[in-house]
């Protein structure tokens, strides 16, 4: 089921699907269904969030979209072509940062670029560009252990963006951060998403926070467990930005989503 705020209906032509999931199901041990069947489009240029309690399959769905996990059943189409293996259009930001402790900030960011066939100088130029963009210049030589959690996640973000992916997948990127650091990183993600500097225009965010999803997204996919499934997709494009949880219109949507999950 899809519901829309009234104004959103004016937006007649929906953007093309960058990624299309059709009747995707995931089984555990071959017998226990933990997710699906799920149909889902990730549209070009949108900020899409998956929200729901633990066990609803939102992170599993993200891993399927990123091509880190091959679904037991169903198909994943990237621009209409079946996806096999890691999604070449996607980069992932992990909750646990996933930085290499023995590499400096700049080496962590440059790491994935070798696989793109860039020469050494180009790799470091590209890494520096994204380090500057997330406000981490000055920390190039720092090791992850010297950084606060907020800064570590900025490195994770710079590393993903440096790949210049069409789709940025973020798996609960703010939940290991304190609230104030999370705020800085969240604002930065929104700034970068709307800026012309960044090539990545499509974002998939997995979060357990309804407030976070409503503050950031064009559309929110609400999921429930046993087995994981989509219960509703909420279109928020008519809700003006920047959004705050204490705005009446945002509050109304947030309350309704709590109702869906309650």
Are the C-beta atoms of 236 and 218 separated by less than 8 Å? yes
| Helix H or strand E encompassing 254 | helix 248-261
Q: Which residues are within 8 A (CB) of 217 and not within 5 positions of it... i.e. 6 or more apart?
A: 47, 48, 49, 205, 236
Nearer to another protein, 9 or 245 (CB): 245
Question: Structure tokens of 14?
Answer: 């929906």
Nearer to another protein, 177 or 203 (CB): 177
Beta carbon of residue 82, minimum distance to another protein (angstroms, whole number): 41
Cα dist from 237 to 5, 37, 234, whole Å: 8, 26, 9
Start-end of H helices in 55-168:
58-65, 105-110, 120-133, 149-162
Beta carbon of residue 185, minimum distance to another protein (angstroms, whole number): 8
Nearer to another protein, 38 or 216 (CB): 216
Phi, psi at 23, each rounded to 5°:
45, 45
Nearer to another protein, 63 or 152 (CB): 152
Nearer to another protein, 27 or 143 (CB): 143
Question: Look-up: residue for tokens 């009747």?
Answer: 23
**3-state DSSP call for residue 242?**
coil
Are the C-beta atoms of 169 and 90 separated by less than 8 Å? yes
Nearer to another protein, 11 or 178 (CB): 178
Beta carbon of residue 145, minimum distance to another protein (angstroms, whole number): 10
Point out which residues bind another protein (CB under 8 A).
132-133, 135, 137-143, 146-151, 154, 178-185, 187, 191, 244
Phi, psi at 155, each rounded to 5°:
-65, -45
Beta carbon of residue 158, minimum distance to another protein (angstroms, whole number): 12
Beta carbon of residue 143, minimum distance to another protein (angstroms, whole number): 7
Beta carbon of residue 180, minimum distance to another protein (angstroms, whole number): 3
């Amino acid at each position: 089921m899809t519901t829309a705020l009234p104004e959103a209906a004016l937006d007649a032509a929906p953007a093309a699907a960058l990624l299309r999931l059709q009747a995707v199901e995931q089984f555990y041990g071959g017998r226990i269904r933990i997710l699906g069947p799920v149909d889902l489009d990730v549209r070009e240029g949108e900020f899409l969030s998956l929200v729901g309690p633990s066990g609803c399959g939102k992170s599993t769905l993200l891993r399927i979209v990123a091509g880190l996990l091959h679904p037991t059943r169903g198909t994943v189409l990237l621009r209409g072509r079946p996806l096999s293996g890691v999604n070449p259009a996607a980069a992932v930001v992990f909750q646990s940062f996933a930085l290499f402790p023995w590499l400096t900030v700049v080496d962590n960011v440059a790491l994935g670029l070798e696989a793109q066939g860039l020469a050494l100088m180009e790799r470091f130029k590209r890494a520096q560009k994204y380090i500057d963009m997330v406000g981490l210049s000055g920390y190039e030589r720092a090791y992850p252990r010297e950084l606060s959690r907020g800064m570590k996640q900025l490195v994770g973000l710079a590393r993903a963006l440096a790949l210049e992916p069409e789709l940025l997948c973020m798996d609960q990127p703010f939940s290991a951060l304190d609230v104030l650091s999370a705020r800085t990183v969240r604002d930065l993600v929104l700034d970068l998403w709307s800026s012309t500097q960044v090539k990545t225009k499509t974002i998939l965010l997995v979060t357990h926070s309804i407030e976070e999803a409503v503050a950031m997204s064009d559309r929110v996919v609400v999921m429930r467990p046993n087995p994981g499934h989509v219960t509703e997709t909420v279109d928020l494009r008519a809700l003006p930005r920047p959004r705050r949880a204490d705005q009446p219109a945002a509050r109304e949507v947030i309350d309704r989503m709590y109702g869906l999950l309650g």
